[in-house]
Structure 1
Amino acid sequence: MLVVTDRDGLSFDECQMSRCASKSSISAALNLLLKLDLIDYFTKPGERKRYFRTTAADAFYINKLEEKLKRIEQENRIITKIRKYNKTYNPEKYQSNLKRAEVYHTFIKKSEELLSNTLKTLKEIDNYN
C-alpha cells in the first residue's frame, strides 16, 4: 500500500484497515520494513501519530536490489564451496550432478551479474539527476 498510495504517508490505522490485518501483523511488517530501510516515518505537527512512507523512490529500488544481490552472492559462494568439496571428496556425486549443477550455477552467476548491472544503472541515474 505504501508503494502505490498517492498520499505522502499512511498512518498505522490506515495500513491496518487497508490490509484487513491484525495490529500485531501490521506492526511486525512495518518494523521489518523500517529495519530494511524500505520505509521511514514522520509525524505531523501537533499529532502523535506516525505516518509511514516508502523511502525515496531511488533508495527503495536500490535497497530492494541490494538485498537480493546479497542473497545471490551468498548462494554463489555456498554453491562454489559445495562443488569444490564434492569434486575433491565425493567425485561420484560431483560427476552425477555435474550438468545440473553447472546449469544452476550459471543461472546464479548471470543473476548476480544482472543485479549488479541494474544497480549500477540505477545509481548512475541518481547521480545524473
Structure 2
Amino acid sequence: MTKQTTDTNNELNYDENVIAKIVGKTLMGIPGVLMVHGNVFENLTDRFSNDDDPTKGIKVDLDADNKTVDVDMDATLEYGKNAPQIFNEAVTKIKAAVGSMTDVKVNAVKMTVKDLMTKAEWDAQNKPKDADEPR
C-alpha cells in the first residue's frame, strides 16, 4: 500500500528585503557600478564596509502570487565606462542570482543613471574623513 501525502498547506514566501539584498550584493560585483542611491559599492577601491546595507536604494515590487519581481534603482556609474554594457551585465546577473536562490522570476529591471564619476572623483568623495589628519 502506497501512502501519498498531500502538502496543500505548505507555503514558501520571500520578503521584499530578501530580493533587494540579493540584488544589492549582486551589484557589488559588477565593475563600473559605484553607488546605488546612497549605498556605496566600492568596486574600484575595494573598501566595501560590511556595515553598509546592500538593500538601500533598491526598490522591489514583488508579486508573491505569480512569483515575479520588478526591480528599480538609481545608480552612479564610472565615467568612461559603457553604461548599456554595465546595465546589461547587471540585468543578466540579477536574474541569475535571484533565480538561483529563489523560485522568483525577475520580470523587469530599471536602472536610472543619476551620475557618472571618474575614479579620482570617486576616491576623493569617499576618502575617510580622518585620512588627512596627522597621527
Note whether the superposition's TM-score is higher than 0.5: no
Higher helix residue share = 1
Higher strand residue share = 2
Please give the TM-score of this superposition, normalised by the length of structure 1: 0.24
Q: Higher relative contact order at CA 8 Å, sep ≥6: structure 1 or structure 2?
A: 2
Please give the TM-score of this superposition, normalised by the length of structure 2: 0.23
